[in-house]
Structure 1
Amino acid sequence: MNDRGQRQQSKRRWKVRYTVLLLLWFCWMFSFLDRMVITVALPFIGKDFNVGATGQGLIISIFFAGYAIFQIPGGMLADKFGFRRVISLALGWWSIFTMLTGVIFSYPLMLISRFLFGLGEAPLPGSSYKGIATYFPSKKRGTAAGIQSTVNTLGPAVATIAAAAIISSFGWRPVFISIGIPGLIVALLIWLKTKDNPADHPNMTKEDLRELEEDEDLSKEEVQTKVGFKEVLKKPILWQATLIWFFFDITFWGFTSWLPSYLINVRGFSLMSTGLFSALPFLIGTVTMILGGYLSDRAQGNRKWIFIPNAIIGAGVLYLMFQASSNTMVITYQCIAVFFMFMAQGSFWGLVVDSLPSKVMATGSSIVNFGGSIAGFISPIVMGALIEASGGSYGSSFIFIAIALVISAIIAMTIHTKSEQENTSEVLKA
């Protein structure tokens, strides 16, 4: 077989990195299933525990308190001990507390359980981006991150449909028990099917290892210097990305947490209709998430210009959605808003995984995601308080999340991309 035929066969074969990405994708899927079904169950939980909108918002927000507290330590553990070990333990932990959510009959115990659940999920973001940086060369990390991030849209879609179906037939408690068991299985597969060092994986080929080694050779910063936690903290891109993700997640978690309640309480949708129409925009977003990651790789050096216009357009359409007079236009606008929002998100994580050194990818991406965790804590409970203060009106709360999305785009404008730095250098030389 000639060299061209060997290259074509190499491109067609299933690579180890695809298996790693698939397992990471399932980890994220179960993380979103576990945390998103509660948004559909929230009105029923509130009724059973006799708590109002603010108390219901606290059930969601308390998860993010635990999620935020252990976010950075979880990433540091992944950099020290490897993503495989940390993700396996974390997934097993949070799957157990997912099942416990379905058997708790006390509101204080519910809050404790959701807090501990958040602690368990905290190491996942940094560990998973560490896995991508370990197995994928730089030029393909944006697409890989985009594929992984499809769970941010597909997870809520699957969760709302499944939760609505199970709750309408069996009540809200069996939902949490049924989705905890598969998570334990995926945790075992992560342990058995991945390695922290690609060279230790029995199915890695010399060609794939060479590609990773060549990618490392291009990164002089990592080869010639020791990159530690203090060095990462000095990078402006780290803090810019953290602020961007904070404001983006104000929008994301406010939108996903309260959309089902909005459709039921304000728009008069049935439970099953709420499940279907809450899922529809996220199914659309699944496609645009991959597209955003792909375009991010194509615009390497200018990744921010994929994020900025999509975030601004998404914010505008999101505002129109909650001003719509008919239910048909509400559904139409929410689909369009999510299209642009998740195009932006897909490109954003391409920017992050391409900008941070792979040796400290877990720590760095955990710091970025920490911003989102704080937003996840703040947004649901603030929206709940705004809804109660407005006598049940969702208007001010949805203006709040639209503004946050615009702010994320404004901060992204402050990032100096590689191409801009090169142009500035050429001007100075001239």
Structure 2
Amino acid sequence: MHRTTRTTAVLLFVAWAVDYIDRQVVNLALPSIGHTFGLTHGERGLVVSAFFVTYALTQIPAGLIAGRFGGVRVMCVALVLWSLFTGLTAVAWSFAALLVFRCLFGVAQGLFPAAAVDTLSRRSVPAQRLTANGWIQSSNAVGGLLAAVLGGLLLAHWDWRVMFAAVSVLGLLVVVAVRRRMPGALPAEQTGPPPERTGGSAAALLRSPVIWGFAVMFFAYDTVVWGLNSWSASYLMEERALKVADAGLVSLGPTLLAAVTAIVGGRLSDRFEGRPRRIVVPAMSAAAVLLAVLPLTGSLTGFVVVATLISGAIGLCYMPCFSVPLRSLPPGLTGVASGVILFGGQLSGIVVPTLFGQVVDAFSYRVAFWSLALGPALAVAAVLRVPQTSRRFLARLGAVTDDTLVKEDDSDASTVPHSA
């Protein structure tokens, strides 16, 4: 891997880890926040979903902004703003104020993902881009683990307001590191094909149904992720008498395995030159079976083991949701494409936490966990319909002729099934 790519990946790994720390500490704080403001389970879920409303709505504009002003600049602005709103959450004086600060926090963090993709795309070659992204996205699991550990320790000794105030400084430290250490971009001829060969413009990409198919796949992926991340801690504390200080230890296995499989999923996506169905179909099928078993476990250990296996299976599917677009598009368009895909995924963050809480109120945690199996079913349906290679992806965008596509099919017919 190019030295510029490695340095960029390290900096983005740290930035993403802080992103997830600031985002996920609220999950541990939900019982305390609920006690402070007298909230039902459904209202606690709304605290999580409020973030995702604005986070999701910011994704596509953020891709356009990153393409216009550059990923590094937009990323630094995002880090400063979300640190500010994390700190303001600590002084929320009512449930309404808390929702407002969570919405503003969502806007600030929503600027970051597309900017991070744009930053890496300008500092990596297409053949190594998914491997680098896999390493970077493993930070999500690491950030989730650190959120559980830091949040658990802080909540064990202070209240949720002190916790938010403490973690708000992390993003500012990352800004300093990025400004001092981020390398310059690689030459344009190394980073991808020219825009005229890939559909031409951001507007054309946004209008194309093909990119939205990957957004549906990421929606399905995040259905499981945000259902488990938002409610597992509350479930274990309320149903299994888990102490808040132990939440970090319980999440150790799931988060570490998810980190490893995110890296493996990125490496396999580069090795397969895309072809996401090779990973998504078996991994999501396994996740669906495990979700059926999860609420039936009779012990805390059994729950953690099954949750760890689910996290591993789901982690394999992260990079396949982005694999074909990121391998196919040049910098300037990868941010837009990732913004669309992330928008689809974050819609599940709006819907799932609140619905999960409402299902718990109306039925039980068991039924709520079972309902998450709809995510893997939708992921399999989506991956069977999206193009599996760069050539087919570009053909669906109108950037490759039918004759060229036939030549590719003939040369690859023994190994690659035709995509719908």
Deviation at 1:45, TM superposition (A): 0.6
2:245 paired with 1:272? yes
Secondary structure of 1:150 counterpart: helix
Specify which of 144, 151, 173 is matched with residue 156 of structure 1: 144
Amino acid at match of 2:297: A
- What amino acid sits opposite 2:377 in the alignment? V
Aligned in 2, Cα 1:215/1:46: closer, same or farther, shift over 3 Å? closer
Which residue pairs with 2:189 in the alignment?
Answer: 213
Q: Partner amino acid for 1:228?
A: S
Asked whether the 8 Å contact 2:123–2:191 carries over to 1, the reply is no
Q: CA deviation at 1:284?
A: 1.5
The partner residue of 2:166 within 173, 178, 181 is 178
Instruction: State the one-letter code of the partner of 1:198.
Output: A
User: Residues 224 and 402 of structure 1: is their aligned pair in 2 closer, same or farther, counting only changes over 3 Å?
Assistant: closer
TM-score, scaled to structure 2: 0.89
Deviates more, 1:90-99 or 1:408-417: 408-417
**2:67 counterpart residue number:** 79
1:340 aligns with 2:313: yes
- 1:214-253 → structure 2 map (5 Å cutoff): 214-216=190-192, 219=193, 222=195, 227-253=200-226
Q: 1:318 to 1:355 in 2, by over 3 A?
A: farther
Distance between the aligned counterparts of 2:156 and 2:308, measured in 1? 25
Distance in 2 (CA, whole Å) between partners of 1:409 and 1:323 is 24
Would you say the 8 A contact 2:224–2:373 is kept in 1?
yes
Q: In the alignment, residue 342 of structure 2 is paired with which amino acid?
A: N
Cα distance in 2 between the residues matched to 1:245 and 1:225: 22
- The Cα shift of 1:247 comes to 1.6
How many aligned positions are there? 400
1:404 aligns with one of 347, 356, 375: 375
The letter for the 2-side match of 1:64 is F
Cα-to-partner distance string for 1:28-85 (whole Å, 9 max, x where unaligned)? 1111101101000110110011111011111110001111222211111100010011
Structure 2 unaligned regions, length at least 5: 393-404, 414-420
Displacement after TM superposition at 1:235 (Å): 3.8
Q: 1:183 Cα deviation (Å)?
A: 0.7
| Unmatched segments (≥5 aa) in structure 1 | 1-10, 200-208
**Counterpart code for 1:405:** P
Are residues 423 and 261 of structure 1, via their aligned partners in 2, closer, same or farther at CA, if it must alter by over 3 Å?
Answer: farther
- 1:250 aligned partner, one-letter code: T
CA gap 1:388/1:186 in 2 versus in 1, 3 angstroms: same
Q: Which amino acid aligns with 1:239?
A: W
144-153 or 356-365: bigger deviation: 356-365
Q: 1:104 Cα deviation (Å)?
A: 1.8
Q: Check 1:171–1:185 CA distance in 2 against 1; reply closer, same or farther (3 A cut).
A: same
Preserved contact between residue 206 and residue 340 of structure 2 (Cα < 8 Å): no
Q: Name the residue aligned to 1:202.
A: none
1:69-113 C-alpha deviation (Å, 9 max, x unpaired): 222111111000100111111110000111111122211111100
SS in 1 for 2:373: helix
- In the TM superposition, what are the counterparts of 1:4-83 in structure 2 within 5 Å? 15-83=3-71
Q: In the alignment, is the contact (CA less than 8 A) between 1:64 and 1:377 conserved in 2?
A: yes
User: Shift of residue 182 of structure 1?
Assistant: 2.0
Does 2:105 correspond to 1:117?
A: yes
Kindly tell me: are residues 351 and 282 of structure 1, through their superposed partners in 2, closer, same or farther at Cα, counting changes over 3 Å?
farther
Cα drift, residue 246 of structure 1: 1.0
Q: In the TM superposition, what is the alpha-carbon distance from 1:190 to its structure 2 partner?
A: 2.2
SS in 1 for 2:43: helix
Does the 8 Å CA contact 2:215/2:341 hold for their aligned counterparts? yes
Equivalent of 1:198, from 172, 177, 185? Answer: 185
1:125 maps to amino acid: P
Secondary structure of the residue that 1:359 maps to in structure 2? Answer: coil
Please tell me the root mean square deviation across aligned C-alpha atoms, in Å: 2.3
Could you say what secondary structure the match of 2:92 adopts?
coil
**Residue type of the partner of 1:397?**
A
* Aligned counterparts, 1:303-382, within 5 A: 303-382=276-355
Cα gap change, 1:17 to 1:231, in 2 (>3 Å) = same
| Alpha-carbon distance in structure 2 between the residues aligned to 1:155 and 1:78 | 24
Deviations 1:138-179 (A, max 9, x none): 000111111111122111111111111110112222211111
Q: How many Å apart are 1:262 and its aligned residue?
A: 0.8
Question: Is 1:415 aligned with 2:386?
Answer: yes
CA distance in 1, matches of 2:275, 2:333: 23
Contact 2:56 2:347 in 1 (8 A): yes
Q: Select between 251-260 and 328-337 the one with higher mean Cα deviation.
A: 328-337
Q: Quick one: which amino acid aligns to residue 383 of structure 2?
A: A
Structure 1 length-normalised TM: 0.87
Aligned positions of 1:131-150 closer than 5 A: 131-150=119-138
Contact 1:127/1:362 (CA < 8 Å) preserved in 2?
yes
Go from structure 1 to structure 2 and tell me whether the alpha carbon gap of 1:296 and 1:369 turns closer, same or farther (over 3 Å shift): same
| Alpha-carbon spacing, 1:49–1:235, altered in 2? closer, same or farther (3 Å) | same
Identity of aligned residues (%): 27
CA distance in 2, matches of 1:327, 1:54: 24
Matched residues in 2 for 1:417 and 1:372: separation? 19
The whole-number CA distance in structure 1 between the counterparts of 2:17 and 2:200 is: 31
Sort the Cα spacing of 1:315 and 1:193 in 2 relative to 1 into closer, same or farther, 3 A: same
8 Å CA contact 2:287–2:314 kept in 1: the answer is yes
Mapped to 2, the partners of 1:193 and 1:298 lie a distance apart of 30
Map of 2:410 onto structure 1: 426
CA–CA distance in structure 1, aligned partners of residues 160 and 224 of structure 2 = 26
Q: One-letter code of the match for 1:400?
A: S
Distance 1:59 1:353, change over 3 A: same
- 3-state SS in 1 of match to 2:273: coil
Structure 2 distance, partners of 1:18, 1:361, is 19
